[in-house]
């Protein structure tokens, strides 16, 4: 019983480790000069969009363009080029589109700041709305003389 459990467990471990290997290695075989380079190149390629299959990044996509660009990124990293330089290389050819995270620029202010502005706007409206209701509630607590008479009458009736 324990033996078969152990067997099952080791099979699971093997499977999981294989899965993680599959996950970590892109399809092509490229020898990086160092592990740091590899890490940087992979994270960079993850952050760039494939211009052909538009909802995949350079690592996910298997289109010829993505393969080329991936290789280009790897080589540039190994040449010691900085992230900015590589991103500039990509955007000067394929446009801002390849960036998953758009740059903060005059034309992207609406994109970046819009949600914050909307949230603030909603908050301000909500604040005034709630405050108005509270004031109205507080004012409504006193009874008019007619209401008071009605209340007295009802109380008297119930007391009988």
Partner 1 sequence: MKKLVLFIPLVVVLGMGVFLYKGLFLNPQQLDSALEGKPIPAFQLEVLEKSGETVTNETLKGKVGLLNVWATWCPSCKYEHPFLMTLARKNILPIYGINYRDDRPLAIRELSREGNPYAINIYDHDGRLGLDLGVYGAPESFLIDHKGIIRYRYAGPIDSRVWKETLYPMVQQLQAEAAKDGAS
Residue labelled with tokens 């008071």 = 148
Piece of 1-9, 17-25, 34-42, 91-99 that binds partner 1 (CB under 8 A): 91-99
For the chain, counts of helices (H) and of strands (E): 6, 0
Given 97, 100, 109, 127, the residue binding partner 1 (CB under 8 A): 97
CA 61 and chain centroid, separation: 20
- The maximal CA–CA distance of the chain, rounded, in angstroms, is 98
Whether the Cβ atoms of residue 69 and residue 90 lie closer than 8 Å to each other: yes
Question: In angstroms, rounded to a whole number, what is the distance separating the alpha carbons of residues 158 and 152?
Answer: 10
Q: Decide if residue 91 touches partner 1 (CB under 8 A).
A: yes
Q: Decide if residue 152 touches partner 1 (CB under 8 A).
A: no
Q: Decide if residue 150 touches partner 1 (CB under 8 A).
A: no
- 47-76: which residues touch partner 1 (CB under 8 A)? 51-52, 54, 63-65, 68-69, 72
Residue labelled with tokens 């209340």 = 151
Q: Decide if residue 93 touches partner 1 (CB under 8 A).
A: yes
Q: Which residues bind partner 1 (CB under 8 A)?
A: 51-52, 54, 63-65, 68-69, 72, 91-97
């Amino acid at each position: 019983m324990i033996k078969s459990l152990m067997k099952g467990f080791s099979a699971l471990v093997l499977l999981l480790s294989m899965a993680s290997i599959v996950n970590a290695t892109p399809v092509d075989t490229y020898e990086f000069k160092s592990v740091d380079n590899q890490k940087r190149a992979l994270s960079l390629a993850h952050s760039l969009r494939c211009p052909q299959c538009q909802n995949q990044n350079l690592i996910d996509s298997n289109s010829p363009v993505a393969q080329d660009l991936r290789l280009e990124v790897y080589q540039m990293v190994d040449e010691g080029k900085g992230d900015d330089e590589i991103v500039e290389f990509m955007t000067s050819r394929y446009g801002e589109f390849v960036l998953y995270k758009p740059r903060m620029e005059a034309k992207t202010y609406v994109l970046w700041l819009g949600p914050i502005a909307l949230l603030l706007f909603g908050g301000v409206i909500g604040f005034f709305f709630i405050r108005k209701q509270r004031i109205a509630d507080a004012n409504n607590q006193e009874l008019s003389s007619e209401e008071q008479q009605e209340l007295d009458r009802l109380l008297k009736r119930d007391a009988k």
